[in-house]
A and B are shown apart, each in its own frame.
Chain A
Amino acid sequence: MSLLHWAILIPFLFAIIVPILYKYIRPIHTGWFVLLVPSVLFIYFLPYLTPISNGDTFMESVPWVPSLGIQFSAYVDGWSLLFALLITGIGALVVLYSIFYLDKKYEALNNFYVYLLLFMGAMLGVVLSDNLIVLYVFWELTSLSSTLLISYWYYRDASINGAVKSLNITVLGGFAMLAGFALLYVMTGTFSIQEMIGQAGTVIDHPLFLPTIILILLGAFTKSAQFPFHIWLPDAMEAPTPVSAYLHSATMVKAGIYLVARFTPLFGGAAEWFWIIAGAGLLTTLWGSFSALRQKDLKGLLAYSTISQLGMVMCLLGLGSAALYFDEANELYTVAILAAVFHLFNHASFKGSLFMTAGIVDHETGTRDIRSLGGLMLVMPATATISLIGAASMAGLPPLNGFLSKEHFFMGLTNAAEYGIFNMETVGLIFPIIGWLASVFTFVYCCIFFFKTFAGRFDASRFPKKVHEAPVGMLISPAILGFIVVTVGLFPNLLSQSIIEPSMASILNGLPMDNEAFSVDIEHWHGFSLELWMTIGVVAFGSLIFAGMGRWSKWSIYNKDVDPFTPVYDATMTGTIKGSQLITNVQMTGRLRDYFAFIAVFFLIITSWTMVRFDAFALDLEAMGNVTIYEMLLIGLLLVSVLSLPFIQKRIAAVVVLGFVGFFIALLFVNFRAPDLALTQLLIETVLVVLFMLAFYHLPELRKETSKLTFKWTNAMISFGIGLMMTVIAFSAFTFGQGNGFDPISDYFIENSADLAGGYNMVNVVLVDFRGLDTILEVLVLAIAALGVIALIRLRMKEGDDV
């Protein structure tokens, strides 16, 4: 375990302490303690900047499940460092903001900070893991923890709804991604991303290439809310604002972006990868920016704007991946990657500050509805200033950082038309056109965000609360972010060497790094280039649309603020629930014997089919040993008790005879010198008989069997079939074992249990040393069974309740 691993684990460990801190140190807001974690981690990650900008990378590995090739390996290069710094840096600001946002008297702070720390750790794990399986584990942890955060105010229906929606969509994508990872493993034989990149050529030519990228991209697109999976993001706005600022603008939704960029060296250069990502991204940009116009909720507007901006970054990553089609770096393509990385950073800064100011407006006025807001500029001057900076940056106005990345975005799009590969000569023209249109919409919704909230006449009666400026503490974080927006805007090359170039190098891994196309030099003024004219067009056109808002806001399309894809999702959900109820009603008859029959028949069919398919029948009595008189006696007694069971009319007698069966089997174990098994069997039997007796007390008298003859025959046939099957399996296994001369598996344990585990009881050594995971998971199963019993008995459902 290196420091890097601990950096990932610290948020998880701290999450354990948070409830204790909350319980025992009430006078101090728990957030102050939590603030330590991201701040310390941020300071820990900062010194990595120097070696990373020199082109070094770091890899620390700890074996986790070595037999399956699963290492907990932490990998730091430019791209993961950028994310690690964003996660911890913005994380610290968000925690600081939340201290003032969440009242320590009324809010369940322990829950909030536990979830937030879980999320932070999971996110760090995603961006720093090199092993796909470990990455997947952290990936799903981000889904889970973000669901908990979204449903933080769990007594509101909308919160629960939004949380469930995000969970359904992102976990569905996560499963697809896991399948994609499995296919990647099939192709390359390793789970390490860096090792896979070494085999990039074989992957692209592999017949499974297309299904693999589709599955992996499903994961990335659902997480990053790409069209048409974007519908969960606006609903996730039910979370407290610090959460929205963190999850949905700075980190979580960028996990998909992270993944796509991470896999670009592996898949980049393939036409499918290029088209799917660039296409989906472009569509998302347009749809997100258009839908943002129709929002009446401040945070809803920001949510759609996030969708749109993420689509933009995604599209740029797709365009830039074409660089890997050629073996040399070419500025035509790398500029798209530069724009993606730069915009990712800028978006985190301005969107974070915008979310926080939206939260302040909500917190201090009691409403987020754009229709009732207005005139806050004079009441909340500081908030208004920060919002103005953020909104102007988002709209792409000079001299802020959003302007610079937007120019690069246009440059990437217009370059696309010159690509000369993948039919871009002809279709390439749609990229700048759609991108430009989306930017016009972006400009308009930025205007809506700022002017509808802060401009106009102030009317105190419209607000449910007495409106005043936010406390200073709440303003610190958005102000810092606003400061970053301006600074990066004025000195754009502040980050070029240290973070943007290394990030580009890791995305375009494999291209020669010392190429000129990699040197980043961002300038404000390129002369009257096409991009500048496009920006001027955006401002002119956008202002026209905003000025004419009174006219077009009467159109019905403006007033339908529910996304057309939401009903599709709702219909799928209700359909799924109805369908599963239907199936459940058919198979859940409420009669135990039916369930047994289902299980037995299924088992019978599957096993016989397998045995027939692999021609696994064998019977060889020659090799069998002699049966001693004791064994005959025991088996005879066993047979008598089993066969007498169906004819016993009294229940208590049946229980006792069933107990006999168990004890005879225990005796058999003794006879074969297996004391551990015998002991276990005896104890289980004893406890079971007690259980039976307890249940017996509640059961009605046994009645004369009145079922039909056919029913009895079916039962008899099923039980006979199962018995026959077990016998055949046992004989066949034995015969095969004799035939092929395999060493029995027990030899290994006999030889090694004393040396490797220091124990002479082989059974126990297998249980605790060699197969410890099996054992502990079996106890987990037992625990779940106990929970089931508690749930069934103590929380009994009322008459007529359905599941």
Chain B
Amino acid sequence: MKLFELVYVIEDDFITSKITELYLQQHGAFKRVQKYKNGQPALDALHRASDQPAKLPDLILLDLNMPVMDGWEFLDALSAEHWPKPVPVCVLTSSINPDDIKRATSYTAVQGYFIKPMDAHLVDEMVQLLE
């Protein structure tokens, strides 16, 4: 089984973020979870880690609707830069809008689009997808 040393959870809702963290921690594949309130602090963290590929996350779970820097802006910023190793992104959102699904999956960084609620089954699916 592939191991994820570090996962970023970018989510503005505190409770959702906590729940996501708990589910990830219950799964054996994930080691460290780093939570960010929106795209901006997450992007700042990526920049700080960009000198050492080992410090970059193995996966980013990204919400779409957030204040300050939303999921779209984060994806734009991520795609615009070159990173020492590929950073896979899974969108985790409540939006079932087909336009959002189409738009999100058009980014090369986006590996999967998952609709909440988050649960153990969804985490399994995600791991299988990224295997």
Are A and B genuine complex partners?
A: no
Q: Name A residues whose Cβ lies closer than 8 Å to a Cβ of B.
A: none
